[in-house]
Structure 1
Amino acid sequence: MMNSQTTGQLIASALVNNGIDTIFGIPGAHMYDFIDALYERRSELKFIHTRHEQAAGYMAYGYAKSTGRIGAYTVVPGPGVLNSAAALCTAYGANAPVLCVTGNVMSDMIGKGRGQLHELPDQLATLRSFLKAADRINHPSEVSAVMTRLISTMISGRQGPVSVEAPWDVFGQKGAGPEPQAASAYPAPVADPDAIARAVKMIAGARNPLIMVGGGAVDAGAEVLELARHLQAPVTAHRSGKGVVSDDDPLAMNLVASRDYVTDCDLLIGIGSRLELQYMRWRWLPKGIKVIRIDIDPTDMVRLKPDIGIIADAAAGTRALIDALTMPSRPSRAAEFEEIKARARIAVAGVQPQMAYLEAIRSALPRDGFFVEEVSQMGFTATFGFPVYQARQYVTVGYQGNLGFGYNTALGVKVAHPDKAVVSVSGDGGFMFGVQELATAMHHGIGVIAVVFNNASYGNVLRDQRQAYQGRYIGSALTNPDFVKLAESFGMTASRVTSPAELRARLAQYIEADRPALIEVPVEQGSETSPWPFLHPAPPAD
């Protein structure tokens, strides 16, 4: 059906028709006609306005990572979209379906270098350099085709962020165009039967397999666990795969325990994972170990070539492998695995005060609650020290390691899950990147609980300068506000605690209240035990 509508109205329809119910952003002159179209659809599209463009991008990222659905945001072009680029960069690295709707200068000014408001030399080329796709809409008649193509690209294969732009004058331009329809993913590759057969043969000959899961396996938990039980193979993860197999399952091993187990491992099965943990962090695997990878992205088999590569969706590829197995299920190794996990628990117990505080948070946070990490001493330790019971409930920045993503991302998680508890854990350095979004939390009633560990420093930098640069400190000590008073000045509930027991009690209280809140935890500068010996362990002695 052809309707005479503005470009902005048609883009809004495309969002609604693709199941998007929330869009984050900041209004601006280039986007006024689109923002007005959002007003017309306000009963279907909630608009959450933020105090910084980066926050809008990260809220969309949190929405997408915690749901698997599209996270959308809108900002002005030029400096606006560049301010949000860190979030797009994170979404690309963590394979999140994030959609950025932005503008451009007037149609007749694009590429002219005349210096119109927010002009970039080539915005599309800039965005295409680090997104999965970016495109421009030049007329209302193009909206349906462009939006369908971009969204299909975004949700297909290895998912990733995309951007759509329209010139300033085109958003309000009326024209006849088809009603945008829901986009669908392109067909996923089907596992090659020959590769499956070779993998089955390799598995049958393995004594001690290890399964490594990543973000690509978040929807394959049932299949991964079935394979693991059949083989009696432990399952490990680094960040994005946490919770694919619940950490309280006998077959789940955190990265510290699995590093112990791998010394006698003869087969590594990677499912939806880049295998960063093994190849870039451990930097060592036993001689002669074989590698099977299941990944939807064929180019990843070139980046890290396995012995056998199965190009398929994680769930479908794992299912094909299970169905082809002819070997009987192996007897339980639960007792053996528990011994390894017990040794790991003893080893990491010395990472203090981080482990004590993380245990307090885990005991207060409901089993179905969400934990959003941050680039901080608590965040690093959480990768091995915070149990997770379901996929998507541990929201991470992935390999980009963007300082300051945490609180903003947590707000997006809470918007997507208003009935669930969401706890954001930050250091003082990272929290200050998005501190202005305390205003957003209060304005929209977004009940995230921010736990800010204040060591008055960029803790990693401080430690590295002390240990590797003989105490030549530069740029690592920080001056902070009184975080409790700052939060209260926005009307937020806030308090300061000085022990894990206090934190547990206060968190439980704030979770029950389900309102925006902040808890500051003072930590003596330089007192945290380094988690890095567990994250980057030395190779074993010969």
Structure 2
Amino acid sequence: MTDTETKTGGEALVDALLANGIDTIFGLPGVQLDPFFAALFDSQDRLHVINARHEQGVAYMAYGYAQSTGKTGVYSVVPGPGMLNTTAALSTAYSCNTPVLLVTGQIPSALIGAKRGQLHELPDQLGILERLTKKALRMRHPAEAGETLNALLYEMWSGRPGPVAIEAAPDILAITAPTRTTVAAEMPVAPPFDADKVAQAARILGQAERPMILVGGGAFHASEEITALARMLSAPVQSWMLGRGVVDDRTGLSVNRPAAGQWWRETDAVLCIGSRGEYERATWGLDRDMSFIHVDIDPEELTRAWTPDIGILGDARDVAAALLEAIPAENRKRPGRIEEIAALRDRTRAYLDEKLGPQMAWLDAMRRALPEDGFFVEEFTQVGYVSRIGFPAYFPRSIVTPGYQGTLGYGYATALGVQVAHPDKCVLSVSGDGGFLFTANEIATAVHYNLPLVSVVFADGAYGNVQRIQRDLYGNRILATNFTNPDFVKYAESFGADGRRARTPEELGVSLTEAFKARRPTVIEVPVGQFPDPWPIFMAKPPKGQGRKAMPDYGAEAANPFE
């Protein structure tokens, strides 16, 4: 028989979090959450609470915590405007399949939906949350806390992971009632894969002359198996934003997007695992002689836009392990392929140095300074864009991005969450001056908790990418893309952080090395001008072969960069 105890709703909710192994929560208290934070106060020895200077700050921190660990990131804010301030972080978590849990308040339960103008009242807060998350529920009684939270966590981890939310009215958090002792949520079991389809895929991959592997964030936990597959098949492995580090760039098997585009011209079999493969299919196209094998935990993904030659529903690690067992009986010899991949990597790097030399020089300086076990949080800025093809990744989750959501300004606060999750590691945040000031107020949080995050701010006084488009594609109609910056060194110092300035890649390397050694919150301003345009290289399409399969072709047109 389950034990019962009289608790407040806030205490019951905290106990449910603790029962599920939650030990960190990012949150801003407020009147609708007072009973919940009172319960958090009483559990400080087991649940660490970190506040911030803005609701978006705690939400992004939870995202960074979750994205860099693969564990549940939790944040709590008041309802209404507090919750709405976090929606960009929720949408980023949704786009990147990141396990983020929002705990938010509500107006008094008897007045929900009455539209009587209560503090922080929204017309339908739960409905809003239902459209931004995998699942959102309302806690209606202290006795429901464990059951409600566990249902959300089960949904969070079912199939494709994603954010969830729980809301509770202040009177429900405050009342006392008998509650059962909460046990941890039952976790979903990965669906069994079709062994016959795995055997078919093994036959195709084993007999292929030039196989290739695409990976995404769904393959983070399958790094060892996928690396072994790549070695077995002598196959290059490509990732874009999510999936970086699934295969260590130092193995020589990982290739960036421009190099992968060249291999794609002649590949005869593709294994797409834990990734949509959307860009490659739609932009590069598929030849009738190319077999496409798609492995995904989400059944809808396998037929969302098209039907692959072989679609395998299953966990990336389980299927990769099964392929490792099945391929050797079918596997052909591929002499010279490893050397060919190495030559392709070298040729691509030389091309990037030629066309994007300024960005590559800054990236090289940062990669040399950041320890091998450090974390890199990129932003939507010129150097950040190029980092997707020019900054080597050494292990899964070591590079944090906003994925297809493209969340400008998320970076600094997100990197603080990464630092909280990895207190003994070096974390490097890279932003432009436009995006940095979206959450730069959280320098105060870095100083308050002595989080030794190092942030590099490339300052050109403009939203540079948008301005280039205005200049090059719209007849130099420059509007609303210039701005005035503070002195970022003095700005950082005004919070009590260290401020530095570097004008060359060499100076940046020295500043980073010293900052990582000092283990203090640090902002390094890097004054820059216009950078070369990276997008023609990102969006380059390999020449189409004969007999292409019928596929929607909505990718940006660009010349093949190597011809």
TM-score (norm 2): 0.94
Number of residue pairs matched?
539
Give the corresponding residue for 1:360. Answer: 365
Give the corresponding residue for 2:118. Answer: 116
1:479–1:328 Cα change, 3 Å: same
Q: Does 1:301 align with 2:302?
A: yes
Give the corresponding residue for 1:422. Answer: 427
CA distance in structure 2 between the partners assigned to 1:340 and 1:444 by the alignment? 45
Give the corresponding residue for 2:193. Answer: 191
Superposed, 1:359-378 pairs within 5 Å as 359-378=364-383
1:429–1:328 Cα change, 3 Å: same
Letter of the 2:289 counterpart: G
Secondary structure in structure 1 of the residue aligned to 2:251: coil
Per the TM alignment, residue 189 of structure 1 is displaced from its structure 2 partner at its CA by 0.7
Letter of the 2:348 counterpart: A
Give the corresponding residue for 2:459. Answer: 454
CA distance in structure 2 between the partners assigned to 1:86 and 1:180 by the alignment? 32
Contact 1:238/1:277, CA 8 A, preserved across alignment: no
* Pairing partner for 1:250 from 249, 252, 258: 252
Per the TM alignment, residue 447 of structure 1 is displaced from its structure 2 partner at its CA by 0.9
Give the corresponding residue for 1:469. Answer: 474
Per the TM alignment, residue 227 of structure 1 is displaced from its structure 2 partner at its CA by 1.2
Give the corresponding residue for 2:285. Answer: 284
Per the TM alignment, residue 329 of structure 1 is displaced from its structure 2 partner at its CA by 6.2
- Select between 323-332 and 261-270 the one with higher mean Cα deviation: 323-332
1:490–1:476 Cα change, 3 Å: same
Letter of the 2:231 counterpart: R
CA distance in structure 1 between the partners assigned to 2:481 and 2:286 by the alignment? 35
CA distance in structure 2 between the partners assigned to 1:365 and 1:372 by the alignment? 12
Letter of the 2:413 counterpart: N
* Pairing partner for 1:24 from 23, 26, 30: 26
CA distance in structure 2 between the partners assigned to 1:184 and 1:396 by the alignment? 30
Q: Does 1:432 align with 2:440?
A: no
Give the corresponding residue for 1:336. Answer: 340
CA distance in structure 1 between the partners assigned to 2:333 and 2:11 by the alignment? 58
Give the corresponding residue for 1:266. Answer: 268
* Pairing partner for 2:448 from 435, 443, 448: 443
Contact 1:413/1:422, CA 8 A, preserved across alignment: yes
Letter of the 1:273 counterpart: S
Letter of the 1:351 counterpart: L
* Pairing partner for 2:154 from 145, 152, 155: 152
Q: Does 1:348 align with 2:349?
A: no
Superposed, 1:498-517 pairs within 5 Å as 498-517=503-522
Give the corresponding residue for 2:495. Answer: 490
Contact 1:54/1:84, CA 8 A, preserved across alignment: yes
Give the corresponding residue for 2:320. Answer: 318
Letter of the 1:82 counterpart: L
Secondary structure in structure 1 of the residue aligned to 2:98: coil
Give the corresponding residue for 1:140. Answer: 142
Per the TM alignment, residue 286 of structure 1 is displaced from its structure 2 partner at its CA by 4.2
Q: Does 1:379 align with 2:377?
A: no
Q: Does 1:528 align with 2:501?
A: no
CA distance in structure 1 between the partners assigned to 2:521 and 2:496 by the alignment? 9
Letter of the 2:469 counterpart: D
Give the corresponding residue for 2:62. Answer: 60
- Select between 419-428 and 345-354 the one with higher mean Cα deviation: 345-354
C-alpha RMSD of the superposition: 1.3
Per the TM alignment, residue 203 of structure 1 is displaced from its structure 2 partner at its CA by 1.9
Per the TM alignment, residue 480 of structure 1 is displaced from its structure 2 partner at its CA by 1.0
Letter of the 1:298 counterpart: P
Per the TM alignment, residue 229 of structure 1 is displaced from its structure 2 partner at its CA by 1.3
Q: Does 1:200 align with 2:217?
A: no
TM-score (norm 1): 0.97
Per the TM alignment, residue 493 of structure 1 is displaced from its structure 2 partner at its CA by 0.5
CA distance in structure 2 between the partners assigned to 1:458 and 1:230 by the alignment? 45
Q: Deviations for 1:85-137, whole angstroms, at most 9, x for unmatched residues?
A: 10010000001110000011101100111110111111111111120110011
Q: What fraction of aligned residue pairs are identical, expressed as a percent?
A: 46
Q: Which runs of 5+ in 1 are unaligned?
A: none
Q: Deviations for 1:209-229, whole angstroms, at most 9, x for unmatched residues?
A: 110000000000111011111
Per the TM alignment, residue 539 of structure 1 is displaced from its structure 2 partner at its CA by 4.6
